[in-house]
Amino acid sequence: MAIFTGAGVAIVTPFKEDESINYDKLDELIDFHCENGTDSIIICGTTGESATLTEEEHMECVKFTIDRTKKRIPVIAGTGSNCTRTAIDMSKEAAEHGADGLLLVTPYYNKATQAGLMAHYTAVAKEVKTTPIIMYSVASRTGCNIEPATVAALVKNVDNIVGIKEASGNIGQVARIMALTDGNIDLYSGNDDQIVPLLSLGGKGVISVLSNIAPQKTHDICAKFFEGDVKGSAKMQLEALPLVEQLFSEVNPIPVKKAMQLMGMDCGSLRMPLTELTKEHEESLAKAMKDYGIALV
């Protein structure tokens, strides 16, 4: 059984003025998602600025989210690292805290070989034993692609490696993964503009940036598809495209944090080296949000 089906939010990490984690705001966001259709919370991923969290902050944030969600929806902890030992340590701690699953991005900067990826994921999976793992392929950020044959070998040979968040943007690669695994993999879109295409190949849902500001609509794109209303799902996908484009007008999560501020859900600043959204892009983002039916303050 999949950890979740539908739309999981790649949730932002809210900060105070001094850039410490704003747990009161995170508490509000958790309730917001549990009450507005989100199917899973993915904490401390790329959108959560995991790259600039200390390991202590990272694990405190994971534990807080698991404790506050109280099993209302599944919580998946981002515990990837370019150091296998670090990934193991964080994954084991997240599992001990009760994470429903783990999201492990490919090691970045090292640019591991496919053999290295096999060894990396297998080593982490062995240590967390039964906690399900979703691999995360996003070569545009990491410089490291998980080839379909590698994905298939890991899913077939390691019991608790169950899925992949596919953000390559390469539909041909996604199709090859599904063919080599005979569809026996939990496939999630890592791109909000490709939810329906991946669902059509047997996907279970999306791990979404859009869900931060439009959780119910993102959920409904998936729900309509699963209900057999493919035409309705596709219509919603296409309607979301202008907003999705603006959410990636600058590197994620710069635009989505600004979008939340425009909605009155201010989650604070970004940690450097990320900087605030330019005025030009802010204006385009605000227009796209209004056109999508999102009320601004």
Asked if residues 209 and 256 have their Cβ atoms less than 8 Å apart, the reply is yes
Whether 165 is catalytic is yes
d(CA 90, CA 131): 13
d(CA 174, CA 148): 8
Closest CA to 53 of 293, 283, 253, 277: 253
Residue 169 token pair: 């943007």
Buried b / exposed e across 110-119, counting CB within 10 Å, b at 16+?
eebeeebbbe
Which amino acid, residue 242? P
Of the residues 25, 63, 121, 136, only one is catalytic, namely: 136
Asked if residues 205 and 215 have their Cβ atoms less than 8 Å apart, the reply is no
Of the residues 25, 63, 165, 204, only one is catalytic, namely: 165
Asked if residues 13 and 44 have their Cβ atoms less than 8 Å apart, the reply is yes
The three-state secondary structure class of 107 is: coil
- Residues carrying an active site annotation: 136, 165
